[in-house]
Amino acid sequence: MIMVSEMTGNYNLLVPLMLACSISYIITGGRTIYENQVLTRAHSPAHREEFIIDVLEEVPVEKVMSKSVVTVSPDTTIKELSKLVASTGHLGYPVVKDGRLVGMVTHRDVLRIPWSETSKIKVEQVMSRGLVTATPNESLASALRRMDEHGVGRLPVVKREDPKKLIGILTRRDLIKGHEMAKHEGLVEFRRDVLDKVKVEEIMRRDVIAVDSDMKIAELMGLMTKYTYQGYPVIEEGKLVGIITFDEIIKNLKRPETLVRDVANKHLIVTYPDETVHQALDRMYKYNVGRLPVVDRRNPTKLLGIITKTDVIRAHELERFIP
């Protein structure tokens, strides 16, 4: 009202304006131009950004890390390491000497060595010495960023005051566990579960690296040393017929001429573009798999993409865009 009077230079308008506003309020006081009223700013979509919290920022590494760590010695041979991978299913191992962390060795280091040389070459010859680690008190969000920056799937957890003292290990699976923990413990009050709101098609990878069914294991080993993926859809005549993972490759290291079609898992566990990420994650846990091919619901042999546990972790980043 004052602005109108200032702009017109006529303060005689103040009384009529006040009278008009009072009558308007009396008549429409119980109504609003908004669809509905919310209790607080925290409930309002207009102010949602002020209250969004990255749930992984709320969970410390020590709360979800694995404390029972399977380690190897620098003197362990690659042949012994390959047997350990096959028996435990772990794809990366801290290398410890005299109680001190000295390196990391992964499944890719195993694949680079010809089978005939695996009993001669030791872990210390192929391990990574440039350690990328986490500390127990830092947040899972910080650990996830470090994983992405360095392209690794696990971080040894060490004491902050003694970076060679191994006290645990953190994997991407643990990050998912942390996300679910934050949800169930109510660490974020005004929040919808992002995994129930995001569809598979929003986060799936469309540039899928698939392998032909007549590829040899030796060729696939070369592919796996180039890429970080631990499983590949198998295609035959343009159709999805199976999936092959690192486990099948390890079991056939002695037979590099074996064809993929002879060892691929043909019992396919899949997901669909219109399913929620939570549905896909539940299926991963139910069948103990780390990835799901995404297929056309009407044509289940038509491969559209792939979703992994890494993609599930990144789904929480979409939370700020969910109404």
Q: How many CA atoms lie within 13 A of 273 on its CB side?
A: 14
User: What average pLDDT does the segment 213-218 reach?
Assistant: 91
User: What average pLDDT does the segment 278-305 reach?
Assistant: 91
- What's the number of domains the chain is made of? 3
φ, ψ (nearest 5 deg) of residue 40: -140, 175
Judged against a pLDDT cut of 80, whether residue 7 lies above it is answered with: no
Of residues 135 and 15, the one with the higher pLDDT is 135
Of 159, 183, 207, which closes a domain? 183
Whether residues 165 and 204 fall in one domain: no
**pLDDT at residue 57, rounded to an integer:** 78
Whether residues 93 and 177 fall in one domain: yes
Of residues 39 and 150, the one with the higher pLDDT is 150
Let me know if residue 43 belongs to a domain. Answer: no
Does the reported pTM lie above 0.85? no
Whether residues 142 and 118 fall in one domain: yes
Q: What is the CATH number of the domain that holds 213?
A: 3.10.580.10
**pLDDT at residue 17, rounded to an integer:** 79
Pick the closest to residue 62 from 125, 139, 145, 133 (CA basis).
Answer: 139
As a whole-number percent, the residues of the chain with pLDDT over 90 amount to 39
Confidence of residue 51 (pLDDT cuts 50, 70, 90): very low
Lowest-pLDDT range, 182-191, 225-234, 244-253, 281-290? 182-191
Let me know if residue 94 belongs to a domain. Answer: yes
Whether residues 165 and 215 fall in one domain: no
Of residues 287 and 226, the one with the higher pLDDT is 287
Q: What is the DSSP letter of 43?
A: G
User: What average pLDDT does the segment 261-274 reach?
Assistant: 94
**pLDDT at residue 180, rounded to an integer:** 66
Of residues 255 and 165, the one with the higher pLDDT is 165
**pLDDT at residue 118, rounded to an integer:** 86
Question: Which domain, by its residues, includes 17?
Answer: 2-31
Of 122, 153, 183, which closes a domain? 183
Let me know if residue 134 belongs to a domain. Answer: yes
Judged against a pLDDT cut of 70, whether residue 43 lies above it is answered with: no
Let me know if residue 101 belongs to a domain. Answer: yes
Whether residues 168 and 104 fall in one domain: yes
Judged against a pLDDT cut of 80, whether residue 195 lies above it is answered with: no
Note the helical H segments in the chain.
2-8, 14-28, 48-51, 78-88, 107-111, 140-150, 172-184, 194-197, 200-203, 217-226, 246-251, 260-263, 277-287, 309-314
Let me know if residue 265 belongs to a domain. Answer: yes
- Side chain identity, residue 268: L
Q: Are 278 and 179 in contact (CB under 8 A)?
A: no
Whether residues 65 and 175 fall in one domain: yes
| Mode of pairing for the β-strands spanning 211-212 and 231-236 | parallel
**pLDDT at residue 231, rounded to an integer:** 86
Q: Average pLDDT of the chain?
A: 81
Q: How many CA atoms lie within 13 A of 130 on its CB side?
A: 2
Confidence of residue 50 (pLDDT cuts 50, 70, 90): very low
**pLDDT at residue 298, rounded to an integer:** 94
Let me know if residue 40 belongs to a domain. Answer: no
Q: Are 244 and 286 in contact (CB under 8 A)?
A: no
Pick the closest to residue 284 from 200, 212, 223 (CA basis).
Answer: 200
CA gap 160, 138 in Å, rounded: 10
Whether residues 203 and 312 fall in one domain: yes
Whether residues 168 and 217 fall in one domain: no
**pLDDT at residue 284, rounded to an integer:** 87
Of residues 143 and 322, the one with the higher pLDDT is 143
Whether residues 97 and 66 fall in one domain: yes
| Mode of pairing for the β-strands spanning 162-171 and 211-212 | unpaired
Let me know if residue 36 belongs to a domain. Answer: no
Lowest-pLDDT range, 56-60, 307-311, 317-321? 317-321
Considering only the C-alpha atoms of the chain, give the largest distance between any 2 of them, rounded to a whole number of Å.
100
Whether residues 9 and 66 fall in one domain: no
**pLDDT at residue 191, rounded to an integer:** 40
Whether residues 214 and 107 fall in one domain: no
CA gap 241, 40 in Å, rounded: 53
Let me know if residue 37 belongs to a domain. Answer: no
Whether residues 157 and 232 fall in one domain: no
Q: What is the DSSP letter of 305?
A: E
